[in-house]
Chain A
């Protein structure tokens, strides 16, 4: 590489722990029961479109809403709807989920056919009906991201950074289905008439870089770039800064600085949909942690319970203390083994006593390491103080809403303060205060 890229502000250097990167993806068998929640994306919750007792096919729409920022949810199995129940999501909000008993035949919905993607409008419509959301972890509906209205983005950035430790599902996707990914990128470039695309890979994944370089050598529009390893470089705003030097404005979107960022797995899913018409019903997840014996990447149908993955991977119930949905930095702890796999889950980490340390939090010593680590240039120690004191005006003044909850501050904090959790509380308080004051 001759080009020099910017270093992101702040951030931390983490151990890579990509132990599953050389294990090829296996397919998890269809479980006995699947549970499909109606909220698997940022935005409006979907309304249930099926009734108890209905027979559903693979790819049939189970829930949808007329709101723009949303994505339809499809059945991942064929079988009978046995229950529609109320659930509590990880953030305490209420939602509904549909429980389906699969018949094991995986009968595909007869209507499924290759979508019409002749024009840009039809393409965006197809993206929405594919139910695709950002598969990197945020779950932002893909059609909202790609619908740039009359602005034509200067560049499409493909995020293959995968900066969190343990997770290797994007890497395996590149190694196993690199050709499809490149075709998917070409498809998006054609449909949205974008002239340039960058695939960003961190330098701890040289095999992926070499492969992508090889696959794109005849395509001048796509450039594969290697970035130095740093967390949280995979965050959308950080990646844009590292590649282009541009900063996304506050409350803005990447399109405001002329780029669109997509995760590499999302591109793959989109390409597969355009080829077959089969919506997003399964995904690749990394199963890691010392709680399971068979680590690796698995292709699972959405709605599979964690306990099914746990059993299939020969999990040890005595050793496992905590199950993380996502990476160790930003992952959300699962409530129980009866938590289903949703679209944005890229990894399940079965943590044991050795991986975790429950250190009591102590007083802030105002060392300022969190300020150095914050990639967004915030002051975590001040925000923490105000969030715990419920001072919403000050929280807004110190821009708590800009926090991307990457966890870099909590990682470096010598007092082990629960910084990110306090920011979640603070954001919730600020939202409530804004509703109250109109």
Chain B
């Protein structure tokens, strides 16, 4: 009886351990925890006028390869810029200090990330340096707006511009926007 009871307890213990293993697997491998790098890192700062949908822990990529993550996003009270802190893996310490940072979207529906485009400077970024060259997130509405306005201004002397604006599919007389259909 005592032996039987002990075998039950061993089985129950194994079952509970299996549960914890499954939970640990789910929590560390399939969630944002998987993106945490525990290794040393250094910080870069970058100012953007608009970060779009950029979130904390969004990836920072060089040439499409993940090198770090966004560790902090605050609004600068006086300049009204978004100050983004990038936490870069110590491993990648040879990023030229004239590199540019841009907020890009991965795919059509994907999340936003920060792409660092390497410059040509012989010096590299150090801890708490600022990325001076930044490019804000593309806002789809702005792009559409620009396209419409561009279409209008491409036809000087057109009296009924508003009517034209309502038909953006009208054949583009301007040469600045190549159609990519």
Do A and B come from the same complex? Answer: no
Q: Using CB atoms and an 8 Å cutoff, list the residues of chain A in contact with chain B.
A: none
- Chain B contacts to A: CB under 8 angstroms: none
